[in-house]
Amino acid sequence: MKRKKTIGIWIIVVALAMSIAASPLCAEDGLQTLRQTSKAFTAVAKKVIPAVVSVYVERTVEVRNPYGYGSPFEDEFFQRFFGPRFQRPSEKQIQRGQGSGFIISSDGYILTNNHVAGQSDKIMVTLNDGREFEAKLIGADPKSDIALIKVDGDNLPVIELGDSDSLEIGEWVIAVGNPFRLAQTVTVGVVSAKGRAVGILEDAEGYEDFIQTDAAINPGNSGGPLLNLDGKAIGMNTAIYSQSGGYMGIGFAIPINMAKFIKDQLVNSGKVERGYMGVGPNRFGLTPELAEEFGLKNNHGALIASVIPDSPADKAGLQPDDIVLEYDGKEVRDWNSFRNAVGMTAPGSTVNLVIWREGKKITVKAKIGSFEDVPEVAVVETKLGIQVQELDEKLAREFDYKAGSGVIVAEVEPDSSAYEVGIRPGMLILSVNRKPVGTVKEFNDAISKATDKVLLRIQTEYYTQYVLLPLK
């Protein structure tokens, strides 16, 4: 018994001794891992910093009041003296701005943001080695906030473009740029989320598919690269979420695959042509309640609420109530991801869609169209909050209207005055301010001549009425 007890004690002692001896080794292993990680960040920084540039821009704007902003009292004084229609003379002023960019070809192509360089009269680029170049704007795309500029140079340092589709949540990323004019600043973080749509490009009807990261991004970082540990650009730093104007732990980058798509088109043609399907979304998306109603286990997918006649979707046989689950082999998370996928497909391409229809999956082939082939639409959201299109023979048959007798309402903004008085898609506008309109051009002309309000004569399936709307 004593012998067994002694053996047991020795086993405990040996185990303690081994753990004590191993502790410094474990600590050293941990430090070594941290050193290796630090070296990886350092290697990436050394590799890419020469190709990250400062972008300085100038733009000439007209300012109505050359004496400063003034006060309401000053404006009232001048209007009393010169008359109620008096406006102070305008003068041209130069606005200056600064951002970042990164070189993607040895002959001088540089990616940056549209909000950095897209509206500029003069663009200057400064490299890390101090060289300065005047850059030319090749093209810009407000819908994605991407711009492509070029300098004349040879053998310039380049950042290789990676694959943003392969990026994983939690993966280390490195942001490089020139925040607050502090050139070549490097910050490190992880990918917090993918596929973010945050509404910052809504005014341009933009395409948002942001990478969210906690790597510090600040004013001036815009246009700089977001990199993986291989030193490849997997995104372009674009925006921050902030209540103070500074870093709050949430930054957004455009996926590099989207930037590649835009860049290739700007290089080849100087403009961006996106794919067009011709379907409309459900206003509130595919909610969990709707998904359950349609017999789906989750609410991943894009619920189609409307199909435009003669559109690629109509020709492919898509129907309202269809739910798109996959687009060309990739899962469709929601309407935004579906819209992005269509937009980044070259017109003329044929794609496979997996559709959920009446409780089962079916596969549909669709040939993607171009927005250049879409019937002309009058966009007057800033005045009425509606969109109209011409009444062709097919639409006339569908809605039982007389072809050429007016323009048909295509969309109505939910918070507009038009919506409040009951105007809805499918209604026919026969006249504007008692002048008949049979084409989009006639409608646009009539609206442009209106001052503070418009009188519309509207026909529906059941009645014809007059509606008086204020102009915003």
List the catalytic residue out of 115, 144, 214, 431: 115
CA terminus-to-terminus distance, the chain: 97
**DSSP code of residue 161:** B
Q: In degrees rounded to 5, what are phi and psi of residue 403?
A: -55, 135
- Could you give the count of Cα atoms lying within 13 Å of 178 in the half-sphere of its Cβ? 23
List the catalytic residue out of 54, 222, 311, 337: 222
Q: In degrees rounded to 5, what are phi and psi of residue 312?
A: -55, -35
List the catalytic residue out of 145, 209, 214, 322: 145
Tokens encoding 140: 């810009």
For residues 139 and 347, give the distance between their C-alpha atoms in angstroms, rounded to a whole number. 20
For residues 456 and 469, give the distance between their C-alpha atoms in angstroms, rounded to a whole number. 8
For residues 93 and 116, give the distance between their C-alpha atoms in angstroms, rounded to a whole number. 18
Per the CB < 8 A criterion, the answer to whether 393 and 404 are in contact is no
Per the CB < 8 A criterion, the answer to whether 151 and 134 are in contact is yes
Q: Does residue 115 have an active-site annotation? A: yes
Tokens encoding 363: 């596969």
Residues near 27 by Cβ (< 8 Å), separated by ≥ 6?
A: none
Q: DSSP labels for 131-155? A: -EEEEEEEEEETTTTEEEEE---SS
Q: In degrees rounded to 5, what are phi and psi of residue 434?
A: 65, 15
Tokens encoding 14: 């040996």
For residues 251 and 215, give the distance between their C-alpha atoms in angstroms, rounded to a whole number. 7
Outline where 135-255 has alpha helix (H): none
Residues near 411 by Cβ (< 8 Å), separated by ≥ 6?
A: 280, 386, 387, 425
Q: Strand pairing of 323-327 and 279-281?
A: unpaired
- Could you give the count of Cα atoms lying within 13 Å of 406 in the half-sphere of its Cβ? 24
Q: What is the largest CA-CA distance in the chain?
A: 115
Q: Does residue 222 have an active-site annotation? A: yes
Element at 343 (helix H, strand E): helix 335-343
Helix, strand or coil, per DSSP, at residue 33: helix
Could you give the residue numbers annotated as active site? 115, 145, 222
